Structure 1
């Protein structure tokens, strides 16, 4: 599910304001499923007002809290309700590249862009929230409850102050490095998207959106880099991961199906058997028997 489209299409659930085509939201998360798969084709900043959620990407996990914001880059991810359930009240700011580029150029003379760290490979990144940053984002909250039209100039000034304070905070150099790369019109490579996203059940058009390409351009760039089609490559990588999990974990077949991006258990079992001539359960049993024999 494209979280941006979900947010934009449901203003009755996700209270929202727009600023020059930028979408800002303030809401209590309505999630009821224990875990959901989402993806976004826009960068977003998320600030936890209260409660928490668990965000997972690959083998990495983040637990939202008031003292750290989260930058969700263009990626697919899992959002999970924690065992100690609590509501999650959150402010979300979507950042589109063109608008962010204009603001960054305004900030550039005041930012320390020398000796920035290398941009991290993690697609979800925490950043520090101090009292000054918290005061800035909390000053935005009252405007979400006002029915009257808000002049862009007022809200934009507050948003710029918030973003500036985040970027100049010395502890947020990693985020500053990412934004600096974005505004330099960096073109994300195909492998940067696929190597961290293949295990999510996305359509080719959705992988293309994360990679900021049309579907046709994505297919062309993909085949140029990998020398095969996206469908064949995805099946191969997902089966490799599934086989490894069957060999090294006690996870249920349903959990492996979900974690490897297959649509359902029957689909996974069929594809797996076509490749290895064994069902996933048969493969696991044979592998376990082999281990017992080796130990004997």
Structure 2
């Protein structure tokens, strides 16, 4: 899977403004594949200015066009390209540590209603109100400026975006998720694993998403799930494939791919070892 945040930080193909791990970028799609797997160790906003693209979480598809906006949680997704028109978007990457420090600094403006945990998918649609439209226009002006803005001003632009989210009632679901980043690491680990089990990430990448060393991740995982990461992932992926076999007409190869198996043969073998039937035989029962 492509490390999207890492790739964009290092690339010289795009207009961008960067302070440490904070990143503003004007992204123009250079990928030619129709489907691709991506992951990011930082949460990011997507403000689409032209073209069309689809983000796929484990359970839902999110098609966006010019004027649409998304918030994508740190972790993995599948993306689907459309080539009718060139895709371009302004993207803002904000790591957890910056969000936590922001919440501490601006605790007085946090709406108590946002402190109630709301269940959300790994992708959240954002309502583009007048405040965010103004923000996007100012961001575009920064990116088009011939001179590099002062770093303190850039820092404030990142805070301005979060203030827009926390002080507007139409962004409560997103604000609730951002607040959850300040909670118990074990709760975050569960949230991250449930949202990303179907993707081909290695254990080091899962640990990175949880801000843990590999050894700490394994210990915390065992405590949270009472099993090892490898065993849990294998069972979770196969269980999810059963759901897809029963509820969709997707091909066996496509289901294996969407459940984190590299090859159809490895998926079929793992499925038969557990259920004593092939995926096709299992589907024929329903």
How far is the alpha carbon of 1:139 from its aligned partner?
1.3
Corresponding position of 2:16: 16
Residue 50 of structure 1: aligned partner: 50
Structure 2 residue ranges without an equivalent (≥5): none
The Cα shift of 1:258 comes to: 0.5
Cα distance in 1 for partners of 2:246, 2:141 equals 53
Task: State the shift of 1:247 in Å.
Answer: 4.5
Q: What are the equivalent positions in structure 2 for 1:1-296 lying under 5 Å apart?
A: 1-10=2-11, 12-82=12-82, 85-109=84-108, 111-116=109-114, 117-182=116-181, 184-187=182-185, 188-281=187-280, 283-284=281-282, 288=284
- CA distance in structure 1 between the aligned counterparts of 2:246 and 2:119, rounded to whole angstroms: 31
Contact 1:67/1:130 (CA < 8 Å) preserved in 2? no
Q: Quote the Cα distance in structure 2 between the aligned partners of 1:235 and 1:181.
A: 27
Question: How many Å separate the matches in 2 of 1:227 and 1:87?
Answer: 47
Secondary structure class of the residue paired with 2:119:
coil
State the alpha-carbon separation in 2 of the partners of residues 21 and 118 from structure 1: 27
C-alpha distance in 2, partners of 1:206/1:193?
11
Residues 1:240 and 1:100: Cα distance change in structure 2 (over 3 Å): closer
State the structure with more CA Rg: 1
Instruction: Evaluate the alpha carbon distance shift between residue 14 and residue 234 of structure 1 in structure 2; reply closer, same or farther with a 3 A threshold.
Output: same
Q: Secondary structure at the match of 1:118?
A: coil
- The 2-side partners of 1:101 and 1:237 are apart by 31
> How does the TM-score come out when normalised to structure 2?
0.87
RMSD after superposition: 2.5
Tell me the TM-score normalized by structure 1.
0.84
After superposition, the Cα gap between the structure-2 partners of 1:96 and 1:190, relative to the gap in structure 1 and judged at 3 Å, is closer
How far off is 1:66 after superposition?
A: 4.6
Determine the C-alpha separation between the residues in 2 that align with 1:49 and 1:185. 34
The alpha-carbon deviation at position 186 of structure 1 amounts to: 4.3
Give the C-alpha shift of residue 38 in structure 1. Answer: 1.3
CA distance in 1, matches of 2:104, 2:136: 22
Separation (CA, whole Å) in 2 of partners of 1:149 and 1:257: 46
Specify the SS of the correspondent of 1:64. Answer: strand
